[in-house]
Amino acid sequence: MQGGVEKHCENLYPRIARQAEVVVYRRKPFITLSKDAYYPNIRFVDLPSTRIKGFETAYHSLLCTLHILTQPSGIVLIHNIGPALFTPVFRLFRRKVVLTYHSANYEHRKWNVIERLLLKMSEKIALRYANAILFVNRFQMEKFGKRIRQKSVYIPNGITTPVFSDSSELLEKWGLKNTKYILAIGRITPEKGFDLLIKAFSAIQSDYKLVIAGSAEAETNYCNRLMEISDKSKIIFTGYVYGEALNQLYTHASLFVMPSLIEGFPLVLLEAMSYRLPLIVSDIPAARLVDLSPENYFPSGDIEALQQKLSDFIQNPPPSKPIYDLSPYDWDQIAEQTFLKIKR
Segment 202-223, tens digit of pLDDT: 999 999 999 999 987 666 788 8
pLDDT at position 1 is 42
Domain boundaries along the sequence of the chain: 4-159+330-343, 169-315
pLDDT at 35: 55
Alpha helices by DSSP H, listed for the chain, are 4-16, 56-68, 87-92, 113-129, 138-142, 146-149, 194-202, 220-228, 243-252, 267-274, 285-288, 303-315, 331-343
Query: Buried b vs exposed e over 78-100: b needs ≥16 C-beta within 10 Å?
Result: bbbbbbbbbbebbbeeebbbbbb
DSSP characters for 228-283? Answer: HTS-TTTEEEEES--HHHHHHHHHH-SEEEE--S--SS-HHHHHHHHTT--EEEE-
4-159+330-343 against 169-315: fold identical: yes
- Provide CATH code, domain 4-159+330-343: 3.40.50.2000
pLDDT at 58: 86
From CA 295, how far away is CA 223, in angstroms rounded? Answer: 30
3-state SS track over 130-148: CCEEEECCHHHHHCCCHHH
DSSP type of residue 159: B
8 A C-beta contact, residue 126 and residue 100: no
Question: Residue 219 has what pLDDT?
Answer: 62
User: pLDDT for 277-332, tens place per residue?
Assistant: 999 999 999 999 998 999 999 999 999 999 999 999 999 999 999 999 999 999 99
* Regions of the chain short of the pLDDT cut 70: 1-3, 32-37, 53-54, 217-219
- pLDDT for residue 4: 76
C-alpha to C-alpha distance for 181 and 160, rounded to whole angstroms: 24
> In this structure, which topology does domain 169-315 adopt according to CATH?
Rossmann fold (3.40.50)
